[in-house]
């Protein structure tokens, strides 16, 4: 794994850590999570750059998974109506080959 890949994995780890729930832990969304959380992204341009990097990375990972033909990835999005699930799928999956999904 290249140093750039290692840096990217650490960056992703920092992004998801605030949302990680330990097995068996009780979660009360209003108390435990801020719905207005935006992390390190203060402008749309910041988020667009991160989205572009993430989409490229997902495409690369999809190629690796397809070549191995051993593992799969399950993505679960759960939210109330009008919470942005469709937009998330549209943006995040834009670089993915539909034949591999």
Q: What is the pLDDT of residues 29-74, one digit of tens each?
A: 878 888 788 888 888 888 888 888 888 888 888 888 888 877 777 7
Count of structural domains within the chain: 1
Whole domain around residue 79: which residue ranges? 3-100
**What pLDDT is attached to residue 93?**
80
Residue 61 confidence (pLDDT): 83
Q: How far apart are CA 21 and CA 25, in angstroms?
A: 7
Contact between 62 and 97 under an 8 Å Cβ cutoff? The reply is: yes
Give pLDDT, residue 68: 81
pLDDT of residue 63: 84
d(Cα 95, Cα 65) in Å, to the nearest integer? 15
Residue 1, pLDDT above cutoff 80: no
User: Taking residues 69-92, what's their average pLDDT?
Assistant: 81
pTM as predicted:
0.64
């Amino acid at each position: 794994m290249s140093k750039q890949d290692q840096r990217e994995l650490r960056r992703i780890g920092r992004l998801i850590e605030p949302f990680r729930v330990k097995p068996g832990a009780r979660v009360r969304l209003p108390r435990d999570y801020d719905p207005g959380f935006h992390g390190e992204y203060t402008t749309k341009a910041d988020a667009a750059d991160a989205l572009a990097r993430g989409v490229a990375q997902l495409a690369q990972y999809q190629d690796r998974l397809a070549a191995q033909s051993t593992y799969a990835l399950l993505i679960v999005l759960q939210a109330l109506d009008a919470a942005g699930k469709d937009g998330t799928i549209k943006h995040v999956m834009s670089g993915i080959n539909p034949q591999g999904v």
